[in-house]
Amino acid sequence: MYSYSEFDEAFVRARVAQFTQQVERRLDGSLTEEEFRPLRLMNGLYLQLHAYMLRVAIPYGTINPRQMRQLAHIAQTWDKGYGHFTTRQNIQFNWPKLEDVPAILQALADVGMHAIQTSGNCVRNVTADHFAGAAADEIEDPRPVAELLRQWSTDHPEFQFLPRKFKIAITGAPHDRAVTRAHDIGLRMVRNAKGEPGFEVIVGGGLGRTPMIGHTVRDFLPKADLLPYVEAVLSVYNTLGRRDNKYKARIKITVHETGKEEITRLIEDRFAELRPLFGGNDQKLLAEIEEAFAPPAFRNAPTDAYDAFYKADPTFRSWADTNLTAHRNAQYAIVTISLKAHGATPGDATADQMRLIADLAERYGHSEIRISHEQNVILPHVHKSDLPALHAALVQAGLGTANVGLISDIIACPGMDYCSLATARSIPIAQQIATRFDELKLEHEVGPLKIKISGCINACGHHHVGHIGILGLDRAGVENYQITLGGDGTETAAIGEKTGPGFAYDEIVPAIERIVRAYLDVRQSPEETFLECFRRTGIDPFKAALYDGEGEKDAA
């Protein structure tokens, strides 16, 4: 993977030194909170419900074992022994003290990590397909481009005060695992008629209070034009984006208000101005970055042991069926380590678990680790003959849950257990749903089903694109949960449809169970997934399951 250049290193160190002084000045009273707040946010430090929270970027979800061990060290030294992996391929520490934050940032800089631009109205951590560089369906590894975008956007003087935050996602595969259609800019690698790789550029997607699927402004952008084109998009947004109303400030609103055709024209005009200014240094840099992402030296060895184990051991087979994905090298597999043990907090890993993952990545995974926006950890390159030993080690550490892509593999934002913006809790709902379906022993029968939970309208839990989405609200001083169905974050992206009135905290799990049972009743065969079934039947059978009989209950 990419290691910091001298320039990166010097920049991050300088920022740590600067923020260290800013914290000192806040603590001695030279800076007021009003002055300090934007400075701490620029460095990923929030004040949440019960404590400060530090959000650390894991650019495009790629992290090495040394960095993972450092996160474990930070969790143990300055936090409560765990970290929370988020839906934006970041990690959050929920309990740091203000005076310890400079030391934490120093420790991050020691391993080439930082918390810069994980908050504020700037280009945020660039996210990517978590199977990048390994997936069988991939055109090219998108991470070199993501790294180029990281370097370009970091401290970019023109884009530090955008109308609002700006999120870029990138995928190198036709199967979209990076939710590119719900980002400010989504980049999907495609080939043109000549077979050359380039990008479909999608602009103006987003979730939050006004969910929108992005518009394609370019069907095919040559790779060499990427940086000037992205700069053109940002530049148009920076000029047109609304600064008068926070809720209308994202580029999705700009696109909506300007119209797709006009915004496309403006972007292309700006691109025509910018393109000649890029003299080719970006391409030289990209070529250097690409070298850093060279695939590991894959081993050539028999996989018979895997096949035999798969036949013999049902526990292993169940895990292999759900947690493995096809690798471009047929002897290898992509392993998803579930951070969703039934009843546990989605996305949380203890310091010990982080260290074990680092060890296993070194022993079995060519020292590569990824973090997914679905809040799991990926070992992208594991030789199949190593899978039984890897699985055994994971099981011992509580990391062997065989549920990836199933109903208990839930995305959940921190919700009102931590977040000061939340209007209701998310985590306990996720815990209860996972526990309930584990008790019922139904989840493998139900099959692929993505539940996504947000604790407020800002939709960090991506509920709009969940097959079942749950949104926690405050209705007259009581937690209330609204359900959406049929959302989809992939290449067939769709915003979920609201079912109707919401459910109270203790009613939401039974409501989800009614939806799932309705699906089992109406599906044509076990092969028809929840989403396929929903698309065939529409919302009515699910509405009936949710609300019919409610009246009788009230009358009783």
Task: Note the residues at the interface with another protein (CB under 8 A).
Answer: 26-27, 29, 32-33, 47-52, 80, 94-99, 345, 416-418, 425, 427-428, 431, 474, 477-479
485, 534 Cβ separation under 8 angstroms: yes
In whole angstroms, the minimum distance from the beta carbon of 490 to another protein comes to 29
Nearer to another protein, 26 or 327 (CB): 26
484, 497 Cβ separation under 8 angstroms: yes
CA 269 to chain centre: 32
As a three-state string, the secondary structure of 447-510 is CCCCEEEECCCCCCCCHHHCCEEEEEEEECCEEEEEEEECCECCCCCECCEECCCCEECCCHHH
- Would you state the structure tokens that stand for residue 456, as one six-digit string? 């407020």
Nearer to another protein, 97 or 284 (CB): 97
Measured CA to CA, the distance from residue 406 to residue 164 in angstroms comes to 34
Nearer to another protein, 380 or 428 (CB): 428
Mapped onto helix, strand or coil, the DSSP state of residue 378 is strand
Measured CA to CA, the distance from residue 553 to residue 170 in angstroms comes to 48
Nearer to another protein, 268 or 474 (CB): 474
In whole angstroms, the minimum distance from the beta carbon of 115 to another protein comes to 16
Nearer to another protein, 80 or 342 (CB): 80
Nearer to another protein, 80 or 444 (CB): 80
In whole angstroms, the minimum distance from the beta carbon of 398 to another protein comes to 15
In whole angstroms, the minimum distance from the beta carbon of 99 to another protein comes to 6
Nearer to another protein, 208 or 428 (CB): 428
Measured CA to CA, the distance from residue 170 to residue 148 in angstroms comes to 12
In whole angstroms, the minimum distance from the beta carbon of 423 to another protein comes to 8
Q: Which residue has the tokens 């945020």?
A: 124
With both helix axes pointing from N to C terminus, report the angle between 351-364 and 387-396 in degrees, rounded to the nearest 10. 170
Nearer to another protein, 172 or 472 (CB): 472
Nearer to another protein, 36 or 437 (CB): 36
Q: How far apart are the first and last CA of the chain?
A: 63
87, 463 Cβ separation under 8 angstroms: no
Nearer to another protein, 49 or 520 (CB): 49
- Would you state the structure tokens that stand for residue 120, as one six-digit string? 């504020």
Q: Which residue has the tokens 């593999």?
A: 409
Nearer to another protein, 474 or 491 (CB): 474
CA dihedral 466, 468, 473, 475 (to 10 degrees): 150
Nearer to another protein, 67 or 350 (CB): 350
- Among candidates 202, 133, 136, 131, which has minimal Cα distance to 167? 202
In whole angstroms, the minimum distance from the beta carbon of 49 to another protein comes to 6
- Residue 481, judged by CB atoms within 10 A of its CB (0-12, 13-18, 19+), counts as buried
In whole angstroms, the minimum distance from the beta carbon of 453 to another protein comes to 13
In whole angstroms, the minimum distance from the beta carbon of 435 to another protein comes to 12
In whole angstroms, the minimum distance from the beta carbon of 26 to another protein comes to 8
Q: DSSP assignment, residue 296?
A: P
- Backbone phi, psi, residue 545, to 5°: -65, -35
User: Angle 381-386-387 (CA atoms, 0-180°, nearest 5)?
Assistant: 80
DSSP letters along 197-262, please?
A: EEEEEEES-B-TTS-BPPEEEEEEEEGGGHHHHHHHHHHHHHHHS-SS-GGG-SHHHHHHHH-HHH
In whole angstroms, the minimum distance from the beta carbon of 420 to another protein comes to 9
In whole angstroms, the minimum distance from the beta carbon of 331 to another protein comes to 40
Mapped onto helix, strand or coil, the DSSP state of residue 530 is helix
356, 396 Cβ separation under 8 angstroms: no
130, 371 Cβ separation under 8 angstroms: yes
In whole angstroms, the minimum distance from the beta carbon of 443 to another protein comes to 21
Nearer to another protein, 98 or 389 (CB): 98
Alpha-carbon torsion (93, 98, 100, 102), positive or negative: positive
In whole angstroms, the minimum distance from the beta carbon of 417 to another protein comes to 4
In whole angstroms, the minimum distance from the beta carbon of 47 to another protein comes to 6
Nearer to another protein, 195 or 477 (CB): 477
Measured CA to CA, the distance from residue 511 to residue 502 in angstroms comes to 10
